[in-house]
Structure 1
Amino acid sequence: MKNITAKLTVSLLALTIAGEAAATEWNVSVWGKRRAFTEHVEKLAELVSAKTNGEFTMNVSYGGLSKNTENLDGISIGAFEMAQFCAGYHADKNRAITVLELPFLGVNTLEEEVAVSHAVYAHPAVAEEMAQWNAKMLMTSPMPQYNLVGTGEPRDELAEFDGMRVRATGGLGKAFAAVGGVPTSVTSSEAYQAMESGVVDTVAFAQHAHLSFGTINEADWWTANLNPGTVNCPIVVNIDAYESLSDEHRAALDSSVDEAIDHYLANYGALLEKWDSVLAEKGVQKVMISDEELAKFREVAAGPIAKAWIEENAAQGLPAQELYDLVNSTLADMRK
């Protein structure tokens, strides 16, 4: 009897250890606070946990693991397993995906933004560049076209952008510089303070960020239709962590991406629907730029900046023209 009991004890202990070994816990580094920009990460964690009966969990940390500008570095050394970052924070580390931050690409909807982002992420040049940081692209954080909030008199003519101090990163910063603006790349978390203290006159953000980081509370006006472009902010996973997942857990993660993106799009859509009421509530004037002024902006910023990006990155060995053409062909396919 004692032998049977001992064998049962050993068997139960082995099962317990096996169960513990099968459990997976990932740390995820994002920043700010929970908002529309992070809803797909939260949904992904929820879906993965449900599909694995709680065996694969994700702890989403809002700034507790790393600075937003250092998330890719954290991924590279395995400080955490998943992270969100924006390409414009360190363009030299993720040159290939900065094609998605070129101004006036003509992306009109969040669905189109998802399509072009994921097409570029799937390109071998992107995978190769990200592998240098031990990072694998998982999904994008689609954002609508950026627009400005500002203080004082509205700037609705291109000439008024001359000398304008604007918080804008990546290709957007280059676009404003092309018309005489003075871009600064303070992080999103620093934008409110920069605006409040007068370090910048205007801030370029998507709607959710103007809300989340409080810049809308300092604003007198908002450009409703400037739409110069957006920034690209991927979710990446540490390659070693991804490859060490069991087949079941990897399948749970991969199969949850599309559903997480769908949830994000629905949630962001609801925010956009109520945006006009937010402006009215906060007393922010909606400014419409004329078609003539928009055409001037595109002429100065779109073609020349894209051409310069292609030449610069091709010289560094990237298939720059191919990546740029991929964005355009993906948009064309979406609109057939």
Structure 2
Amino acid sequence: MNNIKTLLLATSALAALTMTAHAQEVTLRLHQFLPAQATIPANALTPWAEKVTAESNGRIKIERYDAMSLGGTPPQLIDQVTDGVVDLIWTVIGYTPGRFPTTEAFELPFFMTNGEATSKAFHEYCQKHCMDEFSGLKVLAWHAHGPGLIHSKNPVNSLEDMKGLKIRGGSRVINQMLEALGATPVGMPVPATSEALSKGVIDATTVPWEVTPSLRISELVTNHTSFSGTHGLYTQTFAFVMNQASYEKLPDDLKTVIDNNSGLETAAELGRVMDQGDLVGLKIATEAKNNIVQLDETETQRWKDAATPLVKAWVDEMTAKGFEGQTLVDDALALIDKHTAN
């Protein structure tokens, strides 16, 4: 009889612990660098947070902190999530040059196609090649934006118009590309772009259409240059990341909610939102009657010829660091082709 009572007490205690675990509520703090009305915060991060809250029956709450409102600078976001200062971040990978070297393959000129396909390719690529660099972090998605353009005060109608132009670039590789094209690159996080343009610190910027409304780019410059063909000039890469300890502390059923809102489809959705945002940005510039230029195939090829040596230089650099540089490039291109065709 005593054994039966002991067993019943133990079973009751286990049931109580299980109920407590399943009743656990958590609040996760999400920090990122753009204003709340920008494309990704408004149309991707907000719906993601609402979906996670709904699927957890209200047990996961996401506190949103936009535009670096918790302090620090955009390049510090990755340290904030690594150190557990915040639970979640969305950031540009290239803001910390040298920290995630294998990801740079997707920033190489004229590799990307569109935001959704390139994001799916990038997520799959990172699962294969980048895990060591993100060790200790729970990556929810890697993704990319749509085709990058040149937005300038004076028209850029040819490669010669790039000569000496002070252009904002968002990463090490993109700055190298701008230099190869004859420009003078000026590295800075995207939130600094508007002020830099208005004060004449830069003459132009490289960003996709989707971010131009929140930065007022179409008001600050009146010329926008894009390219012919299926491959955009460049893309920038992003990571949506969770602190590993914050994830591990969750009960299993809440981990499942996070897992169900992570991965390839989450990356694809982030890319889709970027593509949709491109249409909005283009519409604003068109309605403002700005000068929107698409370089023809012949001129686009001149830019490709000028930028292509950067690919071999990157392969050689990565190989010298102990990576299989050519394999990284080949896999990036193959995955972009695969997901663009699907």
> Structure 2 length normalisation: TM-score?
0.85
Is this contact kept in 1: 2:40–2:273, CA < 8 A? no
Query: What is the alpha-carbon distance in structure 1 between the residues aligned to residue 138 and residue 282 of structure 2?
Result: 38
Displacement after TM superposition at 1:281 (Å): 2.6
- Confirm whether residue 68 of structure 1 aligns to residue 70 of structure 2: no
Query: What is the alpha-carbon distance in structure 2 between the residues aligned to residue 242 and residue 260 of structure 1?
Result: 17
Query: What is the alpha-carbon distance in structure 2 between the residues aligned to residue 128 and residue 274 of structure 1?
Result: 37
1:177-192 equivalence runs, <5 A: 177-192=179-194
Aligned with residue 308 of structure 1, among 297, 304, 313: 313
Query: What is the alpha-carbon distance in structure 2 between the residues aligned to residue 211 and residue 87 of structure 1?
Result: 22
**CA distances 1:307-329 after superposition (whole Å, capped 9, x unpaired):** 11122122222333322222122
Displacement after TM superposition at 1:40 (Å): 2.3
**CA distances 1:4-57 after superposition (whole Å, capped 9, x unpaired):** xxxxxxx9xx78x93697112111111121221233222221111111111112
More displaced 10-residue stretch of structure 1: 273-282 or 38-47: 273-282
Is this contact kept in 1: 2:116–2:270, CA < 8 A? no
Displacement after TM superposition at 1:260 (Å): 4.8
**Which ranges in structure 2 are unaligned for 5 or more consecutive residues?**
1-12
The residue aligned with 2:211 is 209
Query: What is the alpha-carbon distance in structure 2 between the residues aligned to residue 284 and residue 53 of structure 1?
Result: 47
The residue aligned with 1:175 is 177
Could you say what the CA RMSD is over the residues aligned between the two structures, in angstroms?
Answer: 2.4
In the superposition, relative to structure 1, how do residues 141 and 40 fare at CA in structure 2: closer, same or farther (>3 Å)? farther
Displacement after TM superposition at 1:265 (Å): 5.1
Q: What fraction of aligned residue pairs are identical, expressed as a percent?
A: 19
In the superposition, relative to structure 1, how do residues 167 and 313 fare at CA in structure 2: closer, same or farther (>3 Å)? same
- Confirm whether residue 128 of structure 1 aligns to residue 132 of structure 2: yes
The residue aligned with 1:33 is 35
- Confirm whether residue 242 of structure 1 aligns to residue 247 of structure 2: yes
Runs (4 or more) in structure 1 with deviation over 6 Å come to none
Query: What is the alpha-carbon distance in structure 2 between the residues aligned to residue 333 and residue 316 of structure 1?
Result: 28
2:144 is paired with a residue whose SS is: coil
Aligned with residue 95 of structure 1, among 97, 101, 110: 101
**CA distances 1:226-255 after superposition (whole Å, capped 9, x unpaired):** 731110011111122222222111111111
The residue aligned with 1:4 is none
More displaced 10-residue stretch of structure 1: 31-40 or 50-59: 31-40
Is this contact kept in 1: 2:169–2:185, CA < 8 A? yes
In structure 2, what residue type is equivalent to 1:295?
A: Q
More displaced 10-residue stretch of structure 1: 84-93 or 200-209: 84-93
Query: What is the alpha-carbon distance in structure 2 between the residues aligned to residue 213 and residue 142 of structure 1?
Result: 19
1:1-336 equivalence runs, <5 A: 18=20, 22-34=24-36, 35-38=38-41, 39-62=43-66, 63-65=68-70, 66-105=72-111, 107-123=112-128, 125-131=129-135, 134-152=136-154, 154-170=155-171, 171-225=173-227, 227-257=232-262, 260-261=266-267, 264=270, 267-302=273-308, 304-334=309-339, 335=341
Query: What is the alpha-carbon distance in structure 2 between the residues aligned to residue 263 and residue 327 of structure 1?
Result: 20
Displacement after TM superposition at 1:75 (Å): 1.5
Query: What is the alpha-carbon distance in structure 2 between the residues aligned to residue 298 and residue 28 of structure 1?
Result: 39
The residue aligned with 1:7 is none
Query: What is the alpha-carbon distance in structure 2 between the residues aligned to residue 93 and residue 249 of structure 1?
Result: 30
In the superposition, relative to structure 1, how do residues 209 and 22 fare at CA in structure 2: closer, same or farther (>3 Å)? same
Is this contact kept in 2: 1:49–1:55, CA < 8 A? yes
1:228 is paired with a residue whose SS is: coil
1:104 is paired with a residue whose SS is: coil
Query: What is the alpha-carbon distance in structure 2 between the residues aligned to residue 319 and residue 73 of structure 1?
Result: 27
In the superposition, relative to structure 1, how do residues 274 and 81 fare at CA in structure 2: closer, same or farther (>3 Å)? closer
1:72 is paired with a residue whose SS is: helix
Query: What is the alpha-carbon distance in structure 2 between the residues aligned to residue 142 and residue 95 of structure 1?
Result: 16
Size of the aligned set, in residue pairs, is 318
> Structure 1 length normalisation: TM-score?
0.87
Is this contact kept in 1: 2:210–2:280, CA < 8 A? no
**Which ranges in structure 1 are unaligned for 5 or more consecutive residues?**
1-10
